[in-house]
Structure 1
Amino acid sequence: MEPLDTPVLDNHMHLDLEHGQGLSAVNDFVHMGGTHLLVVNKPSWHLGVEADEPAAFAHVFETTIDAVADATELLPGRGWPVLGVHPGLISRLVDERGFTPEDAESLMRGAIDVAATYVDRGDALALKSGRPHYEVTDAVWEASNNVMKHAFKRGAELDCAVQLHTEASEDLTEITAWAADRGLSPHKVVKHYAGGRLAGPTPSVMSNKSDIETAATEDAPFLMETDFIDDPDRPGAVLGLKTVPRRVRWLLGEGYDEAVRNAHIDTPKKVYDINTEGTLG
């Protein structure tokens, strides 16, 4: 495979070294020209953690940190962990485990605090939060928004980005206003699984051709992702880890050189303060 003369970052993906493709997928990514990964912890229950207290999430976070260390050994650049709580956890807690929305909120806020300790000591790059992308009760919706606002507060204190899992939308300016109210710059709020056009957060665009081409023509900061879930029980559920470098090759072939620089050099620097060029080699 012909090398690419640019860093190539997948902004949101997962690794499961025990049950999934793990490092084999990382090798595929590198073979296609990928250089950097932001590895988000899998939902806690997917790793067998049914937490009753925030400290139980440490296993989830440390498993992710260890996976990133192993992946970095294979990458031309490096990986970074993104740690936090999947917003779907609140439904698992309330609907399956009998938590009240208020108790679920308290546990999830505590988990964000545990994740923040890893960011604070430099073991993780950013936090993860959000709210359900499906219908929930008003009480669950309010609790979920409170968890997300708490993540913004901790992100502001740490000066780190917060990646969000939310409903599909082209306008999430209300959310970035909440972040700004808590001292977190709107550009440090990242909407995972975004389309090519979004008002408010920085979009992390799913790397299908149509959304990526839309983002490339918007002349606004954006990132690229696959949301690779590394789950053998759900093959093909989202995009494979080869996809971002493939789309970078396609963008370059279509003349979108500035868009590639935007997504893989300029926006990562602006959002996360990472140097994807300087960490190559």
Structure 2
Amino acid sequence: MIDDETPILDNHLHLDPDHHRGIDAVRDFARVGGTHLLVVNKPSWHLDIEADTGADFRPVFERTIEIVEEASAELEGRAWPILGVHPGLISRLVDDRGFDPADAGELMQAGIDVAAEYVDAGDALALKSGRPHYEVDDAVWEASNDVMRHAFERASELDCAVQLHTEASEDLTEVTAWAEAVGLPAHKVVKHYAGGRLEGPVPSAMSEKDRLEEAADRGEPFLMETDYIDDPDRPGAVLGPKTVPRRVAWLLENGHDEAVRNAHVETPTLVYGIHTVETLENP
């Protein structure tokens, strides 16, 4: 049973106040016990931004920061923004706009640099990067890995975490080795849309029962997410905003109290340095 002292964090979702539900999705989350959110900026092209320079990403980042401030006002805890460049952008740049893969990668790195400015100023919590989860040619793959390594370098300088969008895998130790090589500890690298078992990054497990059971039984640091995309064309995708609180209740009913504390108290502190209990406003 969820009580008023149990923080509940959705580690990765998107909000679109201009085209879809926005704050209404946050209210749904809060109504069923959700207290904390990490809101990741939507892909730039979803907000009709076709970037040519790093500065062109600013409207995406600033709109995300604005909606996060509004979300915090609806929560008993608070929300934080995660800013960066979606790795799928490289395909849009190369396939649709005729960019050379290396030039596309440089533009995406410039976007990461702008996101890093917001982290440095205290306006964002962490960075977002990664590489395509679908098949691409070698030049695009190499450029994507360069973007991800650049995000690790910037995160190391800022002492912040990086959320990754990558291919499905249970072993990304090569990726965390790249992070560690530039001074970013493996526990500050998070794979979003993960299963319950992962070597290398901290898994942000999709909140499906089988994945959560595996993560709970494993006993290693993990987070929970919905990857809710707040898209009018896909209203419930990927999981709805009520899912994490409902899965927390299910975990508690099945005796996984330690797993809930792991995912919603201990791991957020380990990865991001945030304190979900201390930021929870109880009546």
**Alpha carbons of 1:2 and 1:262: their partners in 2 closer, same or farther (altered >3 Å)?**
closer
Indicate the SS of the match to 1:252: helix
**1:280 corresponding residue in structure 2:** 280
**1:191 corresponding residue in structure 2:** 191
Computed over aligned residues only, the root mean square deviation of the Cα atoms, in angstroms, reads: 1.0
Please state if 1:206 is matched with 2:196: no
**2:239 corresponding residue in structure 1:** 239
Offset at residue 236 of structure 1 (A)? 2.7
Letter in 1 for 2:277: E
Offset at residue 234 of structure 1 (A)? 1.1
Counterparts of 2:111 and 2:217, CA distance in 1: 38
Aligned counterparts, 1:122-271, within 5 A: 122-271=122-271
Could you tell me which runs of 5 or more consecutive residues in structure 2 were left unpaired when the two chains were aligned: none
Q: Percent identity?
A: 70
Indicate the SS of the match to 2:143: helix
Counterparts of 1:91 and 1:123, CA distance in 2: 29
Offset at residue 118 of structure 1 (A)? 0.1
Offset at residue 2 of structure 1 (A)? 6.8
Please identify runs of 4+ aligned residues in structure 1 that moved more than 3 A.
1-5
Deviations 1:29-53 (A, max 9, x none): 0011000000000000000100001
Offset at residue 21 of structure 1 (A)? 1.0
Counterparts of 2:4 and 2:16, CA distance in 1: 27
**1:90 corresponding residue in structure 2:** 90
**Alpha carbons of 1:151 and 1:2: their partners in 2 closer, same or farther (altered >3 Å)?**
closer
**Alpha carbons of 1:2 and 1:157: their partners in 2 closer, same or farther (altered >3 Å)?**
closer
Deviations 1:168-224 (A, max 9, x none): 000000000000001100000000000000000000000000000110000100000
**1:38 corresponding residue in structure 2:** 38
**1:20 corresponding residue in structure 2:** 20
Counterparts of 1:22 and 1:58, CA distance in 2: 19
**2:56 corresponding residue in structure 1:** 56
Letter in 2 for 1:120: D
Counterparts of 2:20 and 2:174, CA distance in 1: 37
Offset at residue 5 of structure 1 (A)? 3.2
**TM-score, normalised with respect to structure 1:** 0.99
Counterparts of 1:96 and 1:44, CA distance in 2: 15
Aligned pair count reads: 281
**TM-score, normalised with respect to structure 2:** 0.98
Could you tell me which runs of 5 or more consecutive residues in structure 1 were left unpaired when the two chains were aligned: none
